[in-house]
């Protein structure tokens, strides 16, 4: 039986890789949904990981110049590879039919430069004005009723004053059928790529849903995400999995326990380098008697689980989450080189990353130029020790 070191906020204990996750709550739902929930709550097989692919370092998510990634960064040793998002709709164009052509093409394109591929599965926002990131069959599912709560298969994105970027459908993992189908996608993904040394990580998008939903719906949605994390840890035995975690603060401690128990890495969608200066800043929140913000969890989980942090384009411009919010925002107006230094220094001091995923534009982007200069000069070194949750099984062969 595989044994993993499990991090808690008070210490380390030994637990099996996957274990019972509670008793099913099946009242008030139809037979198929009940079967899906029952399957969710069964103990998955405990399997020895054997090894875990371990390629810590800097990765580039090219926003506007994906085709020129190899030309721009292929010769820089500190750049371990490229991160890219793939829409669920494209990976599963129809029920149970999977299309891996995009991932295969990217792996082939990176191979000559000996660069790796880190992936995100996007189940949020739009592919285009008319096509959702979700498969059509998910959009056609009826609502389920779970514990007396009406649960839609997806949420329509958008809150007041969000602007045009928060638009589309967000998969609702509180819905039993949506959750079951995403787990089937992970099974298929694992069968194809879990042993491929050039696909080095999978990231799940942020936990903030970006829609106005009830507290009961939100709780079921978040429970569903944690269920997905547990499933991923059981089927992706060789590939690090990261959960981008940000909100709501009241559930962060529970998420942290789920990550350490099941060997899922901590990630985040943003680095705002002044977030620890104001105790009421949303990500560095530190007000007595209230749940702390996500940035406080990084030092506690560092060296226990892998940490894979994303630096989005807005992070080059704004020093806090709050400074980005008021239209048109309050940028810090620092030079690109200083901005890059502050982002890197804050990451190393507070977030303790093994993987940094830099979202940058094309060759004319001054922030891309600044990141590239630093990578060429000093490599922006990161933490590389094997996290204890992998029990010494990290492999870079």
State pLDDT tens for residues 140-189. Answer: 999 999 989 999 999 998 666 655 556 789 999 999 999 999 999 999 99
Q: What confidence score (pLDDT) does residue 271 get? A: 98
Q: Which residue has the higher pLDDT, 309 or 18?
A: 309
Q: Where would I find the H helices in the chain?
A: 31-41, 69-73, 88-91, 101-110, 136-140, 176-193, 215-235, 252-262, 297-301, 321-324, 336-346, 366-377
Using only C-alpha atoms, what is the Rg of the chain? 20
| Distance set, CA 68 to CA 2, 48, 346, 371 (Å) | 42, 39, 29, 16
- What's the rounded mean pLDDT across residues 255-265? 95
Q: CB 2: neighbour CB atoms within 10 A?
A: 16
Q: Which among 248, 255, 306, 309 is positioned nearest to 282, based on CA atoms?
A: 248
Q: What confidence score (pLDDT) does residue 61 get? A: 96
Q: Which residue has the higher pLDDT, 155 or 39?
A: 155
Taken in order 364, 365, 370, 371, the sign of the CA dihedral is negative
- What's the rounded mean pLDDT across residues 314-338? 93
Question: 114-118, 125-129, 149-153: which range is least confident on average?
Answer: 125-129
Q: What percent of the chain has pLDDT over 90?
A: 77
Give the structural domain span for 262: 3-395
Residue 310 pLDDT exceeds 90: yes
Q: What confidence score (pLDDT) does residue 128 get? A: 84
Q: Which residue has the higher pLDDT, 97 or 397?
A: 97
At 355 the three-state DSSP class reads strand
Q: What confidence score (pLDDT) does residue 162 get? A: 57
Taken in order 83, 255, 233, 27, the sign of the CA dihedral is negative
Between CA 241 and CA 244 the distance in angstroms is 10
Domains identified in the chain, total number: 1
Encode pLDDT of 198-254 as tens digits: 999 999 999 998 888 999 999 999 999 999 999 999 999 999 999 999 999 999 999
CATH of residue 68's domain is: 3.20.20.80
Q: What confidence score (pLDDT) does residue 4 get? A: 34
Q: Work out whether strand 355-360 and strand 307-311 pair parallel, antiparallel, or are unpaired.
A: parallel
Mean pLDDT taken over the chain: 88
Encode pLDDT of 333-371 as tens digits: 999 999 999 999 999 999 999 999 999 987 778 999 999
- What's the rounded mean pLDDT across residues 53-77? 92
Q: What confidence score (pLDDT) does residue 164 get? A: 53
pTM, to two decimals: 0.90
At 302 the three-state DSSP class reads strand
Q: What confidence score (pLDDT) does residue 5 get? A: 32
């Amino acid at each position: 039986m595989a044994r993993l070191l499990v991090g808690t906020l008070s210490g380390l204990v030994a637990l099996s890789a996957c274990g019972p996750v509670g008793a099913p709550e099946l009242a008030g739902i139809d037979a198929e949904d009940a079967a899906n929930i029952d399957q969710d709550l069964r103990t998955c097989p405990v399997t020895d990981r054997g090894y875990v692919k371990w390629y810590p370092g800097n990765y580039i998510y090219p926003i506007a110049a994906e085709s020129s990634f190899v030309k721009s960064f292929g010769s820089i040793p500190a750049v371990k590879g490229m991160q890219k998002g793939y829409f669920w709709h494209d990976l599963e164009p129809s029920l149970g039919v999977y299309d891996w052509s995009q991932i295969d093409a990217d792996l082939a394109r990176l191979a000559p430069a000996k660069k790796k591929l880190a992936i995100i599965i996007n189940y949020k926002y739009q592919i285009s004005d008319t096509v959702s990131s979700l498969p059509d069959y998910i959009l056609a599912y009826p609502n389920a009723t779970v514990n007396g709560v009406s649960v839609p298969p997806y949420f329509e994105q958008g809150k007041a004053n969000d602007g045009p970027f928060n638009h589309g459908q967000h998969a609702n993992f509180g819905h039993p059928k949506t959750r079951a189908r995403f787990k089937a996608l992970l099974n298929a993904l694992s069968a194809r790529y879990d042993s491929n040394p050039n696909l080095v990580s999978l990231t799940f998008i942020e936990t903030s849903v970006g829609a106005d939903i009830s507290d009961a719906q939100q709780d079921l949605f978040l429970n569903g995400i944690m269920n997905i994390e547990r499933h991923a840890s059981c089927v992706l035995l060789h590939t690090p999995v990261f959960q981008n975690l940000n909100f709501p603060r009241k559930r962060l401690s529970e998420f942290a326990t789920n990550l350490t128990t099941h060997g899922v890495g901590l990630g985040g969608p943003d680095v705002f380098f002044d977030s620890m200066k104001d105790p009421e800043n949303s990500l560095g929140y530190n007000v007595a008697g209230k749940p702390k913000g996500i940035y406080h969890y990084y030092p506690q989980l560092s060296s226990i689980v892998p940490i894979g942090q994303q630096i989005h384009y807005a992070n080059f411009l704004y020093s806090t989450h709050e400074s980005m919010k008021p239209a048109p925002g309050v940028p810090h107006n620092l030079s690109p080189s200083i901005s890059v230094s502050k982002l890197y220094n804050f990451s190393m001091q507070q977030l303790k990353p093994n993987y940094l995923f830099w979202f940058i534009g094309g060759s004319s982007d001054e922030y891309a130029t600044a990141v590239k200069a630093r990578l060429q000069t000093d490599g922006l070194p990161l933490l590389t020790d094997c996290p204890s949750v992998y029990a010494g099984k990290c492999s870079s062969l």
